[in-house]
């Protein structure tokens, strides 16, 4: 079977969405093109924001995006069990487990056995971790603000409303969540 392919030098990060939707519709007329475009666009926009935050804020400070998410959760929610930290930060328990060694070695968090269940780990920020997350979050929030400036205040509220609606509807679609 021969497939028509687009010259790779003509496709860009964003033009691929249009190309992919058009080609999928051609090859599979039953494709829900609007849903495909929505998910591809959401994925691409999310990737851009995360890449920007990671490359401009976190990596220059020796941090990773997952490391930031864990320290951010502990900063705002306080000490908690590792399984709760994994859920809140959107990570698998295995990924969190691997990351904890680095964060503890860097003096940013401590782990102890939970008093109510000796099998559970209780995580908390160290003083150094608390100071570090405050400094990193200031820079992080400046980048968030730069992204948000592309929209008017009411557009930002509408985008958040629509994303919340999408997430609430995902339970109806029996979406899988990481936990």
User: So what's the pLDDT on residue 5?
Assistant: 66
pLDDT in tens, 14-39: 889 999 999 999 999 999 999 999 99
pLDDT in tens, 117-135: 777 788 999 999 999 999 9
User: So what's the pLDDT on residue 14?
Assistant: 83
pLDDT of 159 > 90? The answer is yes
User: So what's the pLDDT on residue 147?
Assistant: 97
Round the average pLDDT of the chain to a whole number and report it.
Answer: 90
Which pLDDT band, with edges at 50, 70 and 90, does 177 fall under?
A: low
Alpha-helical runs (H) found in the chain: 15-27, 33-53, 65-77, 82-89, 93-105, 127-148, 153-170
- The percent of residues in the chain predicted with pLDDT above 70, rounded, is 91
State mean pLDDT over 92-116. 91
User: So what's the pLDDT on residue 172?
Assistant: 66
Which pLDDT band, with edges at 50, 70 and 90, does 80 fall under?
A: very high
pLDDT of 165 > 60? The answer is yes
């Amino acid at each position: 079977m021969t497939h028509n392919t687009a010259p790779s030098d003509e496709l860009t990060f964003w033009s691929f969405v249009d190309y992919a939707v058009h080609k999928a519709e051609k090859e599979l007329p039953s494709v829900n093109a609007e849903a495909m475009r929505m998910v591809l666009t959401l994925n691409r926009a999310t990737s851009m924001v995360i890449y920007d935050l990671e490359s401009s804020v976190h990596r220059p400070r020796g941090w990773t995006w997952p490391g930031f998410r864990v320290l951010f959760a502990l900063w705002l929610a306080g000490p908690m069990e590792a399984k709760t930290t994994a859920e809140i930060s959107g990570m698998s328990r295995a990924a969190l487990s691997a990351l904890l060694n680095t964060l503890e070695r860097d003096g940013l968090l401590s782990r102890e056995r939970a008093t109510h269940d000796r099998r559970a780990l209780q995580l908390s920020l160290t003083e150094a971790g608390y100071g570090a997350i405050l400094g990193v979050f200031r820079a992080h929030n400046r980048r968030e603000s730069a992204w948000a400036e592309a929209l008017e205040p009411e557009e930002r509220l509408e985008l958040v409303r629509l994303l919340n609606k999408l997430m609430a509807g995902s339970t109806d679609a029996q979406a899988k969540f990481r936990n």
